Chain A
Amino acid sequence: MFELIVYGIVLGSIIALGAIGLTMVYRIVGFANFAHGEFMTAGAYVALFIVSILLPWIGFPDSRFVPLSFGWRMVIAFPITMGAVALLAILADKILYKKLRTKKSGAVILAMSSLGASFIIRMTILIIWGSDYIFYRPGLMRPALHLPLGIKIRPDQIFIFCAAIFLVILLHLFLKRTKMGKAMRATADNTDLALVTGIDTERIISWTWAIGGGLAAAGGVLYGIDVQLHPGMGWNFLIPIFAATILGSIGNIYGALIGGFVIGIAQQVSTAFLAPTYKLAVAFMIMIIILLVRPQGIFGKE
């Protein structure tokens, strides 16, 4: 049981990385981004391209930080991937959502457009890589560490948790300390007031997409390190990240973080009673219960 909770925290930190971006986009750009899961998939595959094709091609040596399953190649690929998916998110906004915003299309039309974008991203990945399951480093034995309370955990999983927490702290500092971060919080609080005070909301929106896309990409890569890559992985994260977002109240970054952990732990603990394939349904059931009991989420006002 303790072991499942620990696994849930690892999964939860990945869900949180997706949910934080989703909740920011939801509040600042103002619609439910159904392509957010696909940003995670895109991140996982961009990193795959960098570590298995680009870096070997320029002759970058292969290395491995024993006992972790990756080395310098992944360390270099990680920030580049986050930047690339951040650009992808901004690009999607410029090509699709910005035009719909200026046409005064409703939030539902934007959400539908993002659903279309999610299929476009997934199909592109399927065309390039096909539908197989892929490992970053195939054929590697990944022994687990034995911790007290009978917990078996792989070093990779400890790294995943630490990396996610590190990114959340960075985001926290960005929002509290920088001018852009403060402007973003102001826009999230009240868009009209932000406009009046001379904040360039279009710039804020681009930054929001960049952060959302970057964090989702990080989540995707970390999931790839933990489990494996599959074109449907982001789609399977969509319900959990929406559940985490709603649980933590839409627009609340710290709520999304906690929501992510709650959903992750619930999904892993459920495998003690249910078939593991039902993890998605568990996240969905929690979401339905929140909608019935407290639709504004745990941090929402009445």
Chain B
Amino acid sequence: MEFSGILSYVVSLAIMAGIYAIFCLGLNIQWGYTGLFNIGIAGFFCIGAYTSAMITTPMPSGIYAQYVHQIFGLNLPFIFGLLGAAIVCGIIALLIGIPTLRLGEDYLAIATLGIAETIRLIFNNEQWLANGPRGLMDMPQPFHNLVSPQNYNYIYLVITIIAMIIIYMAIEKAIRSPWGRVLRAIREDEGSASMSGKDIFNFKMQSLIFGSMVMGIGGALYAHYTKAISPSVFTPLYGTFIIWVMLMAGGSGNNKGAILGAYVIWGIWVGTKFVTDFLPYTLQSRAPYIRFLIIGILLEIILLYRPQGLMGEEKRISKLID
């Protein structure tokens, strides 16, 4: 492969890792700082992607209207897609938080798992909503007329990184504020946080909504990058599990760790593809399963031997106090 080929491959890898880093940052608000066990990230991924797609594409007209069905098509600019994805994901998080956040921590896990599966079922079955299993295509890409199509990924890489940095800074600011301290207090000891007069339910809800909105933006960025989405993309494997492994690998409770984890695990995930290419032909079709098996084993090793991840939680108080 010549140099430009390698470079464009690295760029596409960096874009996907950057999108996953945004999911990790969203999960880090929920899990890393508040201790909320959300295993339905795929649901927010899916909703974010579809919302942005439908906000930015026009309603299918003419001959297309017979083949493509979608509930609405607003044809608005890209940025409205991102905002809309965040808002809709925030509303879904509110709805899922109401029955679960007052209960034990694993109820949220089961409920988020259920909502993710249900969302995927709805998009798969309801043709009128967003074209059923065939999904939506041709989401607009911002600034696409500035460069030739084969160089467009460079622009999208910059967009992804800018989005990642803005989200990173917003979370850092929030976490260093008194609000962030309450979240960490809840994570460490709910009882004493409650005795200090903090409304646990409200703070947990805010954290769940904030994190889910970030995930919605991640989903939107994914939709406009791949320009084609269908319900089969948002599986528990690609949509939830790998993001958990990324955050645990990087270090939960550390935003830099969340980003690092996304790049490292995505690197390992892509790297194992080169290894499985050497497998005998009969095993080739099973290669993705072997790669996911490796990711699963990696999670168990991290939980057992390095639960703090690569970076561990960053100190938020004076370095002089241990």
Interface residues of A in 91-143 (CB under 8 A from B): 96, 99-100, 103, 105, 107-109, 111-113, 115-117, 119-120, 123-124, 126-127, 130
Interface residues of B in 262-297 (CB under 8 A from A): 285-286, 289-290, 292-293, 295-297
Given A108-B35, A292-B99, also A123-B121 (CB < 8 A): no
Interface residues of B in 105-133 (CB under 8 A from A): 105-107, 109-111, 113-115, 117-118, 121-122, 124-125
Instruction: With both chains docked as a complex, state the minimum distance between the C-beta of A168 and any C-beta of chain B, in angstroms.
Output: 24
In the complex the two chains form, what is the Cα distance from A239 to B241 in whole Å?
A: 17
Point out the residues of chain B lying under 8 angstroms from A99, CB to CB: 304
Interface residues of A in 245-270 (CB under 8 A from B): 246
* Contact of A209 with B by CB under 8 A: no
Instruction: With both chains docked as a complex, state the minimum distance between the C-beta of A242 and any C-beta of chain B, in angstroms.
Output: 5
* Contact of B23 with A by CB under 8 A: no
* Contact of A32 with B by CB under 8 A: yes
Pick the contact of B300: A96, A111, A239, A291 (CB < 8 A). A96
* Contact of A45 with B by CB under 8 A: no
Please determine whether A280 and B121 come into contact, CB atoms closer than 8 angstroms: yes
Please determine whether A112 and B99 come into contact, CB atoms closer than 8 angstroms: no
* Contact of A39 with B by CB under 8 A: no
- The interface bits of chain A over 282-302 (1 if a CB of B lies within 8 angstroms of the residue's CB, else 0) are 011001100110010000000
Interface of B is mostly: helix
Given A31-B106, A123-B292, also A239-B113 (CB < 8 A): yes
Instruction: With both chains docked as a complex, state the minimum distance between the C-beta of B191 and any C-beta of chain A, in angstroms.
Output: 15
In the complex the two chains form, what is the Cα distance from A130 to B106 in whole Å?
A: 32
* Contact of A144 with B by CB under 8 A: no
Given A115-B39, A120-B297, also A284-B103 (CB < 8 A): no
Please determine whether A113 and B99 come into contact, CB atoms closer than 8 angstroms: no
Please determine whether A291 and B111 come into contact, CB atoms closer than 8 angstroms: yes
Given A278-B125, A280-B121, also A108-B304 (CB < 8 A): no
Please determine whether A123 and B114 come into contact, CB atoms closer than 8 angstroms: no
Total A residues in contact with B, Cβ cutoff 8 Å? 41
In the complex the two chains form, what is the Cα distance from A111 to B121 in whole Å?
A: 25
Pick the contact of B118: A103, A105, A280 (CB < 8 A). A280
Q: Which 5 A-B pairs have the closest CB atoms?
A: A284-B114, A123-B293, A126-B289, A32-B106, A116-B299
A-B contact pairs, 30 of them (CB 8 A): A34-B39, A34-B113, A96-B304, A99-B304, A105-B303, A107-B105, A108-B109, A109-B303, A112-B244, A112-B303, A115-B39, A116-B299, A116-B300, A119-B237, A119-B292, A120-B296, A123-B290, A127-B290, A130-B286, A242-B110, A275-B125, A280-B117, A281-B118, A284-B115, A284-B117, A284-B118, A287-B114, A288-B114, A291-B99, A291-B103
Instruction: Using A32-B109, A108-B109 as known contacts, list a sample of 11 further A-B pairs with CB atoms less than 8 Å apart, ordered by residue number in A.
Output: A32-B110, A113-B299, A119-B237, A126-B286, A239-B117, A246-B107, A277-B121, A281-B122, A291-B99, A291-B107, A295-B103
Chain A residues with a Cβ under 8 A of chain B: 31-32, 34, 96, 99-100, 103, 105, 107-109, 111-113, 115-117, 119-120, 123-124, 126-127, 130, 235, 238-239, 242, 246, 275, 277-278, 280-281, 283-284, 287-288, 291-292, 295
